[in-house]
Amino acid sequence: MASWLGSCFLTENAKVQRSRSRKIDRMLARDKKNSRLIVKLLLLGAGESGKSTFLKQMRIIHGSDFNEDSLREYKPVIYMNIVKGMKVLIDARNKLKVPWEDPQKEEYANRIFSIESAQDMDESDFLPYVDCIEQLWQDKAIKLTFDRRREFQLGDSLKYFLENILRIGQKSYIPSKLDILLARKATKGIVEHPIKICGVPFLFVDVGGQRSQRPKWYKCFDDVTSILFLVSSSEFDQVLQEDRMTNRLVESCDIFETLVNYPLFTGMAFILFLNKTDLLEEKVKQINIKDYFSNFSKDPHSLTDVQSFILDMFDNKRRDKSGLLYHHFTTAIDTENIRFVFDSVKSKILQDNLKTLMLQ
């Protein structure tokens, strides 16, 4: 009798377990189906190529945009960019032995260098230094040092912020959208941004581009729809901050070569954004790309010729041409440019995603 009761109990228990197992299987199947419907875009590229700026644009164009409180959150980042940038200029002026136009500016420089940390600066920390920063920026020594910025590491947006220092230095200051697009804070780790575009769920995955962050990239490779690879095309005459030797454009090209030939991505469409067209256009007027790439044979002061050369550098890294390579010349801080480019890219991405779903 006891044996029969035990057998019944086990049978009932097994039914419960089987029911739970089936329920879990249904949930997993549903989750898997839903995950396939999500368009997962992986944003990759070397540091300071414009990935985070592109994501801010996606939020402005397709997301919840930035309300006043969201804009205010960028104030400490902008303050940090300005103070750190001015410190770099002061230090570079000293190392390059550029004499002060006004020797009294040395006192202003010392005040800026007395700031122990620019991290998490608030308004009360920053405003007392606004006059110092403005006076230093007006000195010819700092301007001449800035003109030699390819000889050291300096953020692209510093000039803009210094030219707007009196506006930024007001108590009533609220960052504009252009301010936040130019604000620079290095991405650490993996950051996911879900945005619904035309009713389709997109998941943008932003991963830090510095060398120390790249080992984390492989954690994001599952279920990727497309890869958006961003390149700072204006950096053909600059070297990496990490080693002070490697040409930045060469580094980007090497990263791209590794990714585009990675077995997991065979046949996948790559989208190449040759970014910072605005900066490249200004640079080619003054700097000869042939001094850095001896195989360049066309007009070094032609934007079109330089862009064509850079595009070929990347396209030639593809060993297997079966996968498509879409390319666009972009300016990530230009909202209308990014709106136009992404509208074109979006159609291709959705077509590729539909083909993938039909094959599964």
Q: Does the annotation flag 332 for ligand binding?
A: yes
Q: Does the annotation flag 156 for ligand binding?
A: yes
Q: Does the annotation flag 88 for ligand binding?
A: no
Whether 59 is catalytic is no
Q: Does the annotation flag 187 for ligand binding?
A: yes
What single string gives the DSSP state of each residue in 70-127?
A: HHHTTHHHHHHHHHHHHHHHHHHHHHHTPPPSSTTHHHHHHHHHT----TT--HHHHG
DSSP label at residue 310 = H
Which residues, other chains included, contact 215 with Cβ-Cβ below 8 Å and sequence gap of 6+?
none
Q: Does the annotation flag 331 for ligand binding?
A: no
Q: Which of 210, 241, 246, 335 is catalytic?
A: 210
Whether 206 is catalytic is yes
Q: Does the annotation flag 23 for ligand binding?
A: no
Which residues, other chains included, contact 233 with Cβ-Cβ below 8 Å and sequence gap of 6+?
249, 274, 275, 276, 277, 280, 307, 310, 329
Q: Does the annotation flag 13 for ligand binding?
A: no
Q: Which of 93, 184, 237, 330 is catalytic?
A: 184
Q: Which of 53, 225, 238, 331 is catalytic?
A: 53
Q: Does the annotation flag 50 for ligand binding?
A: yes
Whether 184 is catalytic is yes
Q: Does the annotation flag 266 for ligand binding?
A: no
Whether 225 is catalytic is no
**Contact (CB, 8 A) for 334 and 281:** no
Q: Does the annotation flag 188 for ligand binding?
A: no
Q: Which of 57, 93, 179, 206 is catalytic?
A: 206
Q: Mapped to the 3 state alphabet, what secondary structure does 10-70 carry? A: HHHHHHHHHHHHHHHHHHHHHHHHHHHHCEEEEEECCCCCCHHHHHHHHHHHHCCCCCHHH
Question: What are the binding residues?
Answer: 48-53, 156-157, 181-187, 206-210, 275-278, 332
Question: What are the binding residues for Mg(2+)?
Answer: 52, 187
Question: What are the binding residues for GTP?
Answer: 48-53, 156-157, 181-187, 206-210, 275-278, 332
Residues labelled as active-site residues: 48, 53, 184, 206, 210
